[in-house]
Amino acid sequence: MIEATVEQLYLMKLFGMAEGLREQMNVPEYHDLGFEERLGILVDKERLYRENRRLKTLASKAHFRHPSACFENIDFRTRRGMTKDGLFRLCQNDWIKNHHNLIVIGPTGVGKTFIACALGTSAIRHGISALYVRMPRLIQELKVARGDGSYVKLLKRLQRMKLLIIDDWGLNPFTDEARRDLLEILEDRHQVRSTIIASQLPIDMWHDVIGDPTLADAICDRVVHNAHKIIMTGESMRKTHAGLT
């Protein structure tokens, strides 16, 4: 009879309750509990199962460059211009709830991408949707979407993300089409969503690499003025790890 009940729970996609019921039947300690207590435990199992599944789905859709990046895995032993307390405060996600942005600046290999992905992981742990993209790849995807008619759909997908991480900002000079695409994305997100931008270029060089003064002003206005900033320093972590190897 219990197996039939478990089967019915699976058919109704109550997987957490099904596994919880199996556990209750196999662990003698549960037999001393009353009906209400055991039912409450089953409900908690189902809630936890669904929450874990939702977080796994968010993580898989984020496409982080470093899936294992999280606050616990950040190396604070090497001085890179950031503090543990400062990163911990950012991991509380208040800046995302307030629709602020974050700019991570530093030389190549210093760990900008890892920090950005770690903050993305922190957001996902709190049920906040996130997406990681590299700027060159994003520009290419927008170009293809414009050609196959899915441009508006892609813009809406980017707009829905509560946290958008744009890596390798300014790695290549901006074309006129790229400037206008980027302005569309940032306009959709301005004061309603949060964006992390990781770049090797100091902020005062952004106007030059964007190119068009008017569009550069518009783009920077939507990113910089309400942004928290992390300025990273030091040698490449890849060089350090290569030396250790």
Tell which residue, 113, 235, 213, 87, has the closest CA to residue 171: 113
Co-location of 13 and 112 in the same domain: no
Give the pLDDT confidence score for residue 243 in this predicted structure: 53
Query: What is the mean pLDDT of the segment spanning 3-12?
Result: 87
Q: How confident is the model at residue 240 (pLDDT cuts 50, 70, 90)?
A: low
Q: Which residues contact 7 (CB under 8 A, 6 or more apart)?
A: none
Co-location of 104 and 148 in the same domain: yes
Domain finish residue from 61, 76, 91: 61
Determine if residue 13 is left, alpha or beta; phi over 0 gives left, psi from -120 to 50 gives alpha, anything else beta: left
Let me know how long the chain is: 245
CA distances (Å), origin 241, targets 71, 109, 206:
19, 11, 31
Co-location of 8 and 99 in the same domain: no
Co-location of 79 and 163 in the same domain: yes
Co-location of 180 and 67 in the same domain: yes
Convert the pLDDT of each residue in 197-223 to its tens digit. 999 999 999 999 998 899 999 999 999
DSSP 8-state class, residue 93: T
Q: What mean pLDDT is reported for the chain?
A: 90
Count how many domains the chain has: 2
Q: Are 219 and 186 in contact (CB under 8 A)?
A: yes
- What CATH number corresponds to the domain at position 232? 3.40.50.300
Co-location of 117 and 146 in the same domain: yes
Give the pLDDT confidence score for residue 77 in this predicted structure: 82
Co-location of 32 and 102 in the same domain: no
Residue environment code for 18-55, b if the CB has 16+ CB neighbours within 10 A, otherwise e: bbbbeebeeeeeeeeeeeeebeebbeebbeebeeeeee
pTM equals 0.82
Enter the tokens of residue 38: 């055991």
Domain hosting 104: range is 63-244
Co-location of 160 and 46 in the same domain: no
Co-location of 70 and 103 in the same domain: yes
Give the pLDDT confidence score for residue 52 in this predicted structure: 85
| DSSP reduced 3-state for 185 | helix
Co-location of 123 and 179 in the same domain: yes
